[in-house]
Structure 1
Amino acid sequence: MNEDGSDTTRPSAEVPEFRRIRSEPLPPQQVPPRRSGAGRPLPWMPSAAARRRRAALLLSGFLSALVLLASGTAWSVTGWLSGQLQRYDVFTGLLEGDRPDAGARGALNFLVIGSDDRSGLDAGQRSELGVGNVEGRRSDTIMLVHLNHERDHITVVGIPRDSWVQIPGHGPHKINAAYSLGGPSLAVQTVESVTGVRIDHYVEIDFTGFVEVVDALGGITVCLPEAIHDEKAHLSLEAGTHELDGVQALAFARTRKSPHGDLDRIDRQQQVLSALLDRALDSQTLSDPARFTRFLETALGSVTVDEALDTAALNQLGSQLRTVGLEDVTFTQVPVDRIDFWTPSGEVAVTWHEQRAAELFNAIAADRPVLTEEAEADPVLPEPGEVVVEVYNGTGVSGLGGRLRAELLAAGFQVPAEAGNWVRHDLAETLVRYSSDSQDAAVLLLESIPGARPEEDPALGGRVQVVAGANLTGVAVPADLASREAEQPVDVGGRDAVHTSTAADNICR
């Protein structure tokens, strides 16, 4: 996947066309206020507080589709609202025998796609948005949104678009290729196949729709722990708090100019969703019927949903989810084991941690809470003399492996064998390779070798390997490290465990 959003592995076969069907009901007429017995006017819309609570449903997990239910329970409004959406027949072609079993009774699962379709943008618009000129359409953002049976909690799972998966009928590809190969139906079929979770509804929004939603709410506030500079996306932000308009928010959500690329993007997208929800709750947009109607007319033309998400379904969800708030929306992402998997075509992809990903999706399918991986009870890191290391040279620099072995020996580690040559000779970063049986030893080595990064390999069976990369500077065991307790013995890499946050956690305060 290139930095401008293009995918050089995109198949060249002709892409099947799919049509969206748009209905055209008229906006609701202004209804004169009724009067209560006491003579007090009763507005045709529910109270501002009720509308704000309902906005929590959509803005938490559905991008701009989140605002669909914020209009309240009036049938005339939801009927008009439903008609503003574009619709696509997502599920008809899916064979029942190939789909996962239905989930827990009453729970609902939405597949939310952010499309990178540029077909409706001219050259000037593409340049302004910083989205490049790649033709075709792909799923730029993929989220699985779970509404629990009690309708008091929403879970949003970010799926890396570079995930290396089996696409039904097409073999191994990055998961975002499913949309370009077969549209929404194949995207749903692929996500169901790799997660085992049955999808009940489909929501899609394009670039312009996202920008319009942010601008209609007056922008969003985000907090950056470190600066981001992306010339292609026209984004330059220093560390700190920033107010972003729609174009900047799109660039912020899409940029990959950070150490963990696609995974960091998911974190930023979740921050953007939380900021949208927070701004919607504080904005006057939802308390002013005329302003709210204009907002919906602007935003919803870029939203596509499945045909079953009709007026009745929207009305019912709006009523059921009226009490959901910031603290009731949980964000997480698929646990991964590699972010540098080399595909057969020579591109870098992401692979999932099979066991932990299965546990995550099994919990969602069963409508159970998603639990964060907890560290095991305070093990103490080993002494260097207790760690046996295999050393390899992963560069073309002659003698670098031998130098690394000598420094590890001098630091007290056991290195019985001479350094060997690794299968690759172009490693930029030094690797500490380990299995689940050698996590404590890996932590000690990672702290002792500046710039090294972890790589878990279950096949090592307790062995530990260090592969010298071009960034190797030396070995130095911190004085207090060998005897102190391991702070993160379970999650060496930080990305293979399940981590969660709420929308309230993600917003700037």
Structure 2
Amino acid sequence: MNEDDSDTPRPSGDVPEFRRVHSGPTPPGTGPPRRRRGGRASAWLPSAAARRRRAVLLLSGFLSAVVLLTSGTAWAVTGWLSGQLQRHDVFAGLLEEDRPASGPQGALNFLVIGSDDRSGIDPEERSALGVGNVGGRRSDTMMLVHLNNERDHITVVGIPRDSWVQIPGHGPHKINAAYSLGGPSLAVRTVESTTGVRIDHYVEVDFSGFVDVVDALGGITVCLPEAIHDDKANLSLEAGTHEVDGPQALAFARTRKSAHGDLDRIDRQQQVLAALLDKALSSQTLSDPSRFARFLETALGSVTVDEALDTAALNQLGAQLRSIRLKDVTFTQVPVDRIDFWTPSGEVAVTWHEQRAAELFGAVARDEPISTEDAAADPDLPAPEEVAVEVHNGTTIPGLGARLRSQLVEAGFRVPEEAGNWTRQDLAETLVRYAPGQEDAAHLLLESIPGSRPEEDPALDDRVQVVAGAGHTGVAVPAHAAAPTGQQPVDVEGRDTVRTHTAADDVCR
């Protein structure tokens, strides 16, 4: 994201104020110390053996859910930690009938927002951080974090902030505008309606909070395949491995000064998230009581969560995620179709590859592993633009043939003639009729038209016909076929497919 954010639509009128309420538990150690038998004062933490049984709960910060908890720190620590978090009633006002169905029992989905709210940062600090002076609030980063039912795997899906989507009640916008138009609740509603995945919890952190998290850990290590120089973000890094502090890590995560802008930025954000987790696990932050307390106090003050993520929920998650390690955290991002889509208002936005994105979010909603099969074109099938089709209406439904023709053209097939009427008007199923030798073209059409059935006819010579039946629902070229003509993805280096990597893969060694 460039720091001025000038291409983001802003709401007219007052932006709703989001009520965030601190709970009130006092931090451990502020009251009278407990005493052991024999009169010696004990520390507020449990024994060293208990501390070694720490767990890592990935809920967090700026880029994807990383607040580090330990299940071995007793209820007093978790109660204090819960009190440091800001809370917002995110799900109030969301109508059940407008929301996706709940997923399999036990699976959890978090929407993680990195807010670009600059209201709490003074001008001098804004300049030092290179975050600009734009007012208002937008979601600078958005990730969907899925915890599976077995609690042995976490999936983090990066959502491009420039994704062109329908925002409920506001029409088409970039997805990051949902937060500025209606706060966390509208952001949740937009992600749910766009992905079909029900959100169970919400986590948000702002710029200064992210910087504090990195600095509290003593910095992180990042690596670059090529140099990045971004004057606005105060970032200048050559290719190679670098130790960066909080402000540098923020600039590294936010800059779009690379070939593929927002998509490269998601890769860097996921690398930063992996580096944060690796640093916390490899350092003494989690095992040293005083360092751990300082880290939590520093990191959590700018984190906002939904009201249901209370002390009991945090305790339970901490215990359940006890064995999660870097290799158990999988990163991916939404498959895209275009990165240069011109919106009606003259902005450049990102559009998703509808079918592959639906497959990705369908797997998340069903709590299934993400498929990473190669989605390149099937070499045995022709591309849609190589298939010429005749279209006919085999029903009494007015305009069905014309609608089918339009759908085929939009999907990339060549339909040179207008749709005609078939000799019969009582077809229930759509027919794909083909001459011998046109089996591959027919197979592609059969895969693209749900509910259709084949019919070979030697009298057709080299022609292929599609006859619409009453059960026709639409045309969708399968993922393993070539992309439609006129909608070829811009060169995004395979980003129209589902690519995955683990946090262990992302750590610089």
Q: TM-score range by the shorter chain?
A: 0.7 to 0.9
Map of 1:39-438 to 2, 5 A cutoff?
A: 44-45=45-46, 47=48, 54-55=55-56, 57-58=58-59, 63=63, 66-70=66-70, 72-374=72-374, 379=379
Instruction: Give the superposition deviation at 1:282.
Output: 1.2
Counterparts of 2:207 and 2:90 in 1: how far apart (Å)? 21
Answering whether residue 459 of structure 2 is matched by residue 458 of structure 1, we say: no
- 8 Å contact 2:228–2:236 — kept in the other structure? yes
Indicate the residue corresponding to 1:482 in structure 2: none
Pairwise CA distance, 1:375: 5.9
> CA, structure 1 residues 48+248, in 2 after alignment: closer, same or farther (shift >3 Å)?
farther
In 2, the alpha carbon distance for the partners of 1:358 and 1:323 equals: 30
Separation (CA, whole Å) in 2 of partners of 1:48 and 1:208: 35
**Matched residue type, 1:25:** P
Q: Return the offset for 1:62.
A: 7.0
Distance 2:79 2:8 in 1: 42
2:195–2:361 contact (8 Å) kept in structure 1: yes
How large is the RMSD of aligned CA atoms in angstroms?
Answer: 3.1
Q: Secondary structure at the match of 1:156?
A: strand
How many Å apart are 1:122 and its aligned residue? 1.0
2:87 partner SS: strand
The one-letter code of the counterpart of 2:125 is Q
- Write the letter of the residue equivalent to 2:46: M
Name the CA distance, whole Å, in 1 between partners of 2:52 and 2:370: 28
Conserved? CA contact 1:158–1:333, under 8 Å = yes
Q: Name the aligned partner's letter for residue 189 of structure 1.
A: R
Distance 1:9 1:16 in 2: 16
Q: 1:190 to 1:181 in 2, by over 3 A?
A: same
CA shift, 1:32, in A, is 5.2
Cα offset, 1:295, TM superposition: 1.3
AA matched with 2:506: N
Q: Structure 2: any 5+ residue segments left out of the alignment? A: 387-443, 445-481
Q: By how many angstroms is 1:4 displaced? A: 3.0
Residue aligned with 2:149, SS: coil
Aligned partner of residue 304 in structure 2, secondary structure = strand
- Contact 1:104 1:366 survives alignment (8 Å): yes
1:25 aligns with 2:51: no
Q: CA deviation at 1:72?
A: 3.1
Going from structure 1 to structure 2, the CA distance change for 1:329 and 1:65 (only over 3 Å counts) comes to closer
**For each residue in 1:181-229, what CA deviation from the matched residue of structure 2 results, as whole angstroms up to 9, or x when unmatched?**
0000000000000000000000000000000000000000011000000
Deviation at 1:15, TM superposition (A): 1.5
Counterpart residue identity of residue 55, structure 1: V
The two structures have a TM-score, normalised by structure 1, of 0.75
Instruction: Supply the distance in 2 between the matched residues of 1:164 and 1:307 (Cα, whole angstroms).
Output: 30
Give the aligned residue type for 1:117: D
1:328 and 1:64, CA in 2 relative to 1: closer, same or farther beyond 3 A? closer
Could you tell me whether the CA contact under 8 Å between 2:340 and 2:349 is conserved in 1? Answer: yes
CA distance in 2, matches of 1:16, 1:149: 35
Distance, in Å, in 2 between the alignment partners of 1:320 and 1:141 is 27
Provide the C-alpha distance between the structure 2 equivalents of 1:262 and 1:276, rounded to a whole number of angstroms.
21
The one-letter code of the counterpart of 2:224 is L
| Cα deviation digits, residues 251-277 of structure 1 (max 9, x gap) | 000000001100010000000000000
Query: Residue 69 of structure 2 aligns to a residue in which SS?
Result: helix
Deviation readout 1:429-459 (Å, 9 max, x if unpaired): xxxxxxxx8xxxxxxxxxxxxxxxxxx8514
Structure 1 vs Structure 2: percent identity of aligned residues? 78
CA contact (8 A) 2:2 2:254 kept: no
TM-score, normalization by structure 2: 0.75
Question: Contact 2:260–2:492 at 8 Å: present in 1 too?
Answer: no
Cα separation, 2, equivalents of 1:208 and 1:236: 20
Counterpart CA distance in 2 for 1:177 and 1:460 is 28
Letter matched to residue 17 of structure 1:
E
Question: Which letter maps to 1:247?
Answer: P
Conserved in 2, the CA contact under 8 Å of 1:116 and 1:140? yes
Measured after TM superposition, the shift of residue 47 of structure 1 is: 4.7
Q: Give the CA deviation at 1:73.
A: 4.8
**Could you say what secondary structure the match of 2:286 adopts?**
helix
Contact 2:51 / 2:73 at 8 angstroms: preserved in 1? no
Deviation at 1:374, TM superposition (A): 2.1
Q: Which amino acid aligns with 1:221?
A: T
Q: CA deviation at 1:52?
A: 7.9
Distance in 2 between the 1:49 and 1:156 partners? 29
1:494 Cα shift? 0.9
Distance in 1, matches of 2:64 and 2:301, equals 10
